[in-house]
Amino acid sequence: MSGAAGQPRTLPEIAQAGAARRDALAASLAAAFADDPAMVWMMPDKAERLARLPGLFRVLVAEELRLGWALASPGNEAVTLWRRSDAVHGNLWQTLRALPAYLRVLGRNLPRGMAVGDAIEAHHPRGRDYDYLHFAGVDPAFQGRGWGGAAIRAGQVRARKRGVPVYLETATASNVSLYQSLGFAVTGEWDVPKGGPHFWSMQWDAGV
């Protein structure tokens, strides 16, 4: 699920980030997603959302580092979280194991969080290999400098080496044209049930 990013002016060094940077990665993503439509729907009260997002992203970053990888700028200004397609769909045991952590960080918002997660998983491509760009965000203080685009391109380079496409979804309408400028194409549009946010599914092919 993508947050804000920009077109490159100068390219920062983008590298894989490890668990020692978990809290810093989470803080940047929490700031980037403060007004994301999916997060707003999940947690409508702004004060509560701002209070809960850092904890939510600490859980999400830890899970992503266990199942995939993070690519980020040196000071964590731009952060992207990735998985291979074979790590996208969790089994029942993984879901049950994760529930206490998500209940702790989402509280009364857990049902809406689960609705978004279920809808996202239901729209993933099936039966083929790809890299999944799960989250992409830039700390608002650094947006517009092209760092988000650089972090995404670093992931595209990695996917090209594997010869696989990149898949993502975004609930932010303004991000659609951004991703198109990076070579992504819209493959579908859908809504989270019961009044949830609208999403665009997008894919970039390694041959682009």
CA angle 189, 191, 192 (to 5 degrees): 140
3-class DSSP assignment, residue 206: coil
Written as one letter, the residue type at 19 is: A
Q: Which residue has the higher pLDDT, 9 or 135?
A: 135
> Average pLDDT for residues 86-108, to the nearest whole number?
80
Give pTM, 2 decimals. 0.90
3-class DSSP assignment, residue 165: coil
| HEC assignment per residue over 29-49 | HHHHCCCCHHHHHHCCCHHHH
> Average pLDDT for residues 114-120, to the nearest whole number?
94
Label residue 198 exposed, middle or buried (CB < 10 Å: 0-12, 13-18, 19+): middle
Q: Which of 30-34, 140-144, 146-150 has the highest mean pLDDT?
A: 30-34
- What is the tens place of the pLDDT at every residue in 153-196? 999 999 999 999 999 999 999 999 999 999 999 999 999 999 99
Which residue ranges make up each domain of the chain?
Answer: 15-204
Task: Give the number of C-alpha atoms closer than 13 A to the C-alpha of residue 120, restricted to the C-beta side.
Answer: 22
Residue 8: pLDDT above 80? no
Q: What is the pLDDT of residue 99?
A: 84
Architecture per CATH, domain 15-204, reads as 3-Layer(aba) Sandwich (3.40)
Give helix then strand counts, H and E, for the chain: 7, 7
Burial 155-175 (b: 16+ CB within 10 A, else e): bbebbbeeebbbbbbbbbeeb
The dihedrals phi and psi of 26, each to the nearest 5 degrees, come to -65, -40
